[in-house]
Structure 1
């Protein structure tokens, strides 16, 4: 599958690390470091704008290393990017850790997974 992308980041486009990787690591695209104090959350831009095919979504998921080592994760996990969204992909990071955490430009902050979905209609029943 090919996905059209516009990228304004300073780093290379995300790519799969292995032949069996389900997701690509996406990076912070920021002008200056951002410090997240314990309990803080903020939207981190990635510089990625994409056009997903109809019937697909992108899921923004946490990176296990950030969560395990620092208590930093994606707040609305998984974040859903709909096929008709054309804006910049942002990642809402939250610091659940006990220490301040600094997000640096180019840091791998989340994973991006593309998934197929099916819309449905309700069939209301009495029980």
Structure 2
């Protein structure tokens, strides 16, 4: 079953940018665009190196129960400009109804300007399984055991 993500435009959103879209038939993520407030549309939003900002998409979402939306960086922005998401992947829960924003961070060496309409992130729709948690007196043994960070190889 294909889930449907219901969306609403925010009051000052630019509807001409369209809804998130899969750019190719095999794309896992739908591209999200920067939908800047009217006062910032001509100048864009400039991120100095090391600076992060919440970039609006102009949308609110309703995600069906049993699903989440993950927000992930765009690889081209990361490689070419050092633009990423500090909480990657960001998770949007099915019971959230507020504005959809994307936290961008400039990890590059130069200032980067997000232009109105730029594709800034990818939105992945994924099923959610909620687990039960309980205290146990013992845990099963494995070959790895308690080996942590880097214990299974180089790094």
Per-residue CA shift, 1:60-103, capped at 9, x if unaligned? 00000000000010111000000000011110000000000001
Aligned counterpart, 1:116:
127
CA contact (8 A) 1:49 1:88 kept: yes
Q: Aligned match of 1:82 in 58, 80, 93?
A: 93
Larger radius of gyration: 2
More strand by percentage: 1
Post-superposition shift, 1:53?
Answer: 0.6
> Partner of 2:110 in structure 1?
99
Considering only aligned residues, what root-mean-square deviation do their CA atoms show, in Å? Answer: 1.0
In structure 2, the residue corresponding to 1:68 is in which secondary structure?
Answer: helix
Larger mean CA deviation between 96-105 and 7-16 belongs to 7-16
Match status 1:64 vs 2:64: no
Cα distance in 2 for partners of 1:108, 1:17 equals: 11
Structure 1 residue matching 2:65: 3-state secondary structure: coil
1:126 matched residue in structure 2: 137
* Structure 1 residue runs without a partner (length 5+): none
Quick one: distance in 1 between partners of 2:27 and 2:59? Answer: 20
Identify unmatched segments of 5+ residues in structure 2. 139-155
Moved over 6 A (4+): none
Task: Report SS of the residue matched to 1:99.
Answer: coil
Per-residue deviation, residues 35-70 of structure 1 (Å, max 9, x unmatched): 100000010010121111111000000000000000
What's the CA shift for 1:115?
Answer: 0.4
1:57·1:116 contact (CA, 8 Å) conserved in 2? yes
* Partner residue in 1 for 2:6: 4
Larger RCO: Structure 1 or Structure 2 (Cα < 8 Å, ≥ 6 residues apart)?
Answer: 1
